[in-house]
Structure 1
Amino acid sequence: MAKHQLSGIHALVTGASSGLGYAMAYALLKEGATVAVASRGGNKLSDVVERFRQEGLDAHELSIDVRSASSIEAAKDWVVNSWGKLDVLVNNAGIGMRTVNPKFLFEPQPFYEVSPEGFKDLIDTNLTGYFLVSRTFAPLMVKQGYGRIINISMNHETMRRKGFVPYGPSRAGAESLSYIMAEDLRDSGVAVNMLLPGGATRTGMLPDEYSEVYDSMPNILSPAIMARPIVFLASPAAAGITGERIVATEFDEWIKRRVGK
């Protein structure tokens, strides 16, 4: 792949201060993209952006709460006023099962023991957040006549696994949302695709006191597994590709089938 293949591309990545979002923002930046590194504001986000900028990367700090329509609208205003366009939107911000059951890996909790508040908070972030961010930025892309929206998902196993309410339903809903978005936007020049790691990934979704469990998990993936596919989906090489569900661990096989390379 050519160096700096994303020069001139402006992207926004939500949930970019850690985990998959951090890895994807970094990959886009390293290929020459200008990136709004977005998450809830604070020292963590500021430190990440400063680290990127010290490497000479064109990173910009953008505070956003994906559960708040007004916060997202303010982020859109910043993008329009600062850049005048948005080429790539990566919906990644999410919370995990730890928020409703810190011991979810060892002591699965049946759905009827999940609190209504815990269910709502996770759905508001992982599913409604994707909708709110997309509905705010999609009109800008439609007006441009081009754009890429990439929604991050997880393995189908998480949508059927014991004790995985509400995380499983949130990702199943986000996948349905993605397919419908792709159809709604098919004639607009705006592509919508899904990307997922393809296995258990070291993302910080486990509570700190259980973080050593990552080391005992076989074939644990690094968030960097997302780098090549996210760069491809943001690049000119992905023109015309929409409505696809891409598994990062199977990216080489997928691209051979889909692109013939």
Structure 2
Amino acid sequence: MENRLDGTYVVVTGASNGLGLAMAEALLSQGATVAMAARPGPKLDQAVEKMQKAGLSAVSLPLDVRSEESVRSAAEWVRTEWGRLDVLINNAGIGMRTVNPDFLTEPQPFFKIQPDKFRDLIDTNVTGYFLVSREFVSLMAERGKGKIINISMNYETMKRKGFVPYGPSRAATESLSYIMAEDLKDYGITVNMLLPGGATVTGMIPDEVREQLEGKFELLDPNVMADPIVYLASGESDGITGERIVAIEFEKWLQERGI
């Protein structure tokens, strides 16, 4: 039986764990060839090895989204080895734990955040999406087709107490996404956003904090992203652009559009 993504070449950033790993596995299971991109190290090596042992077409793509040189090198690898790119998924990011490890239980006001921590998160979560998209988009524009999917998060988090700079970083990437969608219409490239729809069980929430949250609200499994990411990467979503899709409401989103 033919898979939905046979012959599809995909790059997923931040693919060594969390949402990125879950999305990479979902895409691979449907026949895609996936470059799992992340900063080099044991975590990336182990994630790729696990997929390869399962017989899936995963390759390792060392990439630091904050570095123009690293991004350029990764794009050159894709051009040389694949000669094309069908789908780019911008997911790499860091969370509030890098600024305040106790952000969920003891939120800090913005004026207590250290400037270097603020810059580091913005460089990763916002500038990273820009640098990666800027470099890889030429591989799609040359063919007059392609799909970019930018991972975001809830509006509530953009306004939540103690969530500077993570909240502003994702608000910025959503604005970037809408503008990218308009800029790339003439090139045959679509740009959409996907978000889980709530806090998920990822490395962005420390284990000790997760234990404190148990019973207060339910954390989503990263696999909630599987069905919508496969849909967005497939030909089924051709022509759809500028959309913001919430994973937990994906079935409702499809029904509302008669899909």
TM-score, length of structure 2 as denominator length: 0.98
Partner of 1:55: 54
CA–CA separation in structure 2 for the residues paired with 1:183 and 1:216: 43
Cross-structure match for 1:256: 255
Aligned to 1:218: 217
Matched AA of 1:248 = A
Partner of 2:226: 227
How much is the aligned-residue C-alpha RMSD, in angstroms? 1.1
Determine the C-alpha separation between the residues in 2 that align with 1:207 and 1:196. 20
Report the Cα distance in structure 2 between the residues aligned to 1:180 and 1:47, rounded to whole angstroms: 36
**Which residue of structure 1 aligns with residue 178 of structure 2?**
179
What is the CA distance between 1:3 and its match in structure 2? 5.2
Deviation at 1:217, TM superposition (A): 4.3
State the shift of 1:152 in Å.
Answer: 0.2
- 2:12 — aligned with what? 13
Give CA deviations for 1:100-144 in whole Å, capped at 9, x if unaligned: 111111111110111110000000000000000000011221111
Residue 216 of structure 1: how far off its partner (Å) = 3.4
1:198 and 1:247 in contact (8 A); partners too = yes
Cα contact 1:88–1:234 (8 A) shared by 2: yes
C-alpha displacement of 1:209: 3.4
Give the corresponding residue for 2:107.
Answer: 108
Where 1:144 maps in the other structure, the secondary structure is: coil
Residue aligned with 2:193, SS: strand
* 1:31-70 to 2 correspondences below 5 Å: 31-70=30-69
1:48-197 alignment to 2 at 5 Å? 48-197=47-196
Taking the aligned partners of 1:138 and 1:214, their CA distance within structure 2 comes to 40
Write the deviation string for residues 26-60 of structure 1: whole angstroms up to 9, x where unpaired.
Answer: 00000000000110001110111000000000000
Distance 1:214 1:142, change over 3 A: farther
Unaligned runs of 5+ in 2: none
Give SS of 1:103's match.
coil
Structure 1 distance, partners of 2:212, 2:139, is 43
Work out whether residues 104 and 209 of structure 2, in 8 Å CA contact, stay in contact via their aligned partners in 1. Answer: no
Amino acid at match of 1:20: L
Q: Deviations over 1:63-119 (max 9, x none)?
A: 000000000000000000010000000000000000111111111111011111000
TM-score normalised over the length of structure 1: 0.97
Unpaired stretches in structure 1, ≥5 consecutive residues? none
Q: Distance in 2 between matches of 1:106 and 1:94?
A: 21
Instruction: Classify 1:242/1:84 alpha carbon distance in 2 versus 1 (closer, same or farther; 3 Å).
Output: same
Deviations 1:182-231 (A, max 9, x none): 00001211000000000111111123433423543422110000000000
Alignment partners' CA distance in 1, 2:219 and 2:84: 37
CA contact (8 A) 1:40 1:64 kept: yes
- 1:12·1:37 contact (CA, 8 Å) conserved in 2? yes
Relative to structure 1, the CA distance from residue 213 to residue 180 in structure 2 (aligned partners, 3 Å threshold; closer, same or farther) is same
CA contact (8 A) 2:202 2:222 kept: yes
Structure 2 counterpart of 1:65, which letter? Answer: D
> Aligned with 1:36: secondary structure?
strand
Number of matched residues?
Answer: 259
**CA–CA distance in 2 between the matches of 1:154 and 1:217?**
20
| Post-superposition offset of 1:13 | 0.2
